[in-house]
Amino acid sequence: MIKEHWKLAIGILLGAIVLIAAGLQFTRRVKPYVPPADRQISAWGSLDDGTAQRLQAALDEEVNLQKVPGLQAFVRMADGSTWSGVSGTTDLARKDPMQPEDVLRIGSTTKTFTAVLVLKLVEDGRLSLDDPLSNWFPAIPDAEAITVRDLLSHSSGIPEIIQRGLMKSVIPSTYWTRDQLLQLISQDKPLFTPGSQFSYSNSNYILLGFIVEEITGKPILQLLHEQILDPLNLKNTYFIPYEPARARLVTGFDRDLAKIPGMLEITPGNTSWATLAFTSGAMASNADDLGVFFDNLFEGKLLLSSTMEEMTTFLPATNPGLDAQTGSGLGLMRFEVDGQELIGHVGEFMGSSSIAMYAPDKGYTIIVTSNLSNPDLTSVLADLQAIIK
């Protein structure tokens, strides 16, 4: 019995060491945020001061309502006027103010970047939306029936793999390889006949990244820079950890997705979550850079108009936890927020969250990013939208 007690004690001790090494803080609370009185709001864009003040006040309120460390936001009106705002901090102790140039992981908003790379190959005639997955990965169950379009629209039926990798990824030095990800994806048959239903799955976009690399013979990192990041001068956007961030990549926090007590830190050196997500969620950026990317996308500067029509053809789609979603396009989501149709994408992953939406009939763009995994950024967007509509 004594030996068993020692085994239990050692097990608990080792478990605690692992969690501490992973960056666990034994708190789930974030201190209230008090904005500095000397903050210069009018310098953060070209919107009039009155609107800028109201937007900033809404952002400050949401930091405390959502109980998040920090928020970034970007707004562009149809006339081209802009506003960039930040609120809160990059830490839990409220010592380091969030800055517009800070870089945050953006989670699944990465998928829109990946979709653009795929659709550029379609435009170049090197790929068809109707090509079967079996052209590249025949070992995946039902690969001959799953098309590139199915992967882009989350109608492949391929199950989610992220949950399978959660426990291993708590160790921040974990580095998932291509073979490991393919092995996870290949374990289960599709949930339904490919093309017949919608079921959001990061597996789809991991496979799309591998397909792009197979066709081009180039790594995704190189393609992102050649086709999107460098032409748009997105100097604060990175494919982490496949390249080092030259700007400030801040620590993220999770209290909801990993079912462990306390607040899990995802530090700049963490490789586990990004390599698990790969082209479904590994990118880092900030609100301003995301604003540039989505503005160029919806202004038709990245893809042909015919391709944009394909991208913005939405299948009916509901998503548990995203009550605002009404449709799924090719790398895009359709939302309805307070009666307004919006198209774009959201990202929720370890240590990060983002929402990037464009109002097609009004012409405005709203971006919000946070260094916490799972706040209600749709609510933050709704507050900002109510001010500018």
> How far apart (Å, rounded) are the C-alpha atoms in residues 292 and 70?
21
Residue 323 has pLDDT above 90, yes or no: yes
Order of strands, sheet of 263-266, starting from the edge strand that comes earlier in the sequence: 24-25, 263-266, 252-254
> How far apart (Å, rounded) are the C-alpha atoms in residues 294 and 342?
12
The enclosing H or E element of 56 equals helix 49-65
Q: Do the Cβ atoms of 194 and 151 come closer than 8 Å?
A: no
Residue 26 has pLDDT above 60, yes or no: no
The per-residue pLDDT for range 258-289, each reduced to its tens digit, is 666 678 899 999 999 999 999 999 999 999 99
Q: Strand locations in 242-314, DSSP E?
A: 252-254, 263-266, 283-285
**Range in 7-21, 75-89, 167-181, 253-267 the model is least confident about:** 7-21
The pLDDT of residue 124 is 98
pTM of the model: 0.93
Whose CA is closest to 366, among 270, 299, 294?
A: 294
Taking residues 167-194, report their average pLDDT.
94
Cis-peptide into 190, omega within 30 deg: no
Q: What percent of the chain has pLDDT over 70?
A: 91
In Å, how far are 187, 298, 373 from 365, measured between CA atoms? Answer: 40, 10, 22
Whose CA is closest to 310, among 91, 129, 184?
A: 129
The pLDDT of residue 42 is 61
Q: What's the mean pLDDT when you consider all of the chain?
A: 91
For the chain, report the end-to-end CA distance as a whole number of angstroms.
Answer: 69
Q: Give the confidence band of 54 by pLDDT, cuts at 50, 70, 90.
A: very high
Longest dimension (CA), the chain: 75
The per-residue pLDDT for range 326-352, each reduced to its tens digit, is 999 999 999 999 999 999 999 998 899
> How far apart (Å, rounded) are the C-alpha atoms in residues 214 and 76?
37
The pair of structure tokens assigned to 101 is 């140039």
Q: Strand locations in the chain, DSSP E?
A: 24-25, 70-76, 82-88, 104-105, 238-239, 252-254, 263-266, 283-285, 315-316, 325-328, 333-337, 340-349, 352-358, 365-370
Q: Give the confidence band of 23 by pLDDT, cuts at 50, 70, 90.
A: low
Fold exhibited by the domain 104-388: Beta-lactamase (3.40.710)
Residue 9 has pLDDT above 60, yes or no: no
The pLDDT of residue 41 is 67
The pLDDT of residue 24 is 63
Taking residues 122-132, report their average pLDDT.
98
Domain ranges of the chain: 104-388
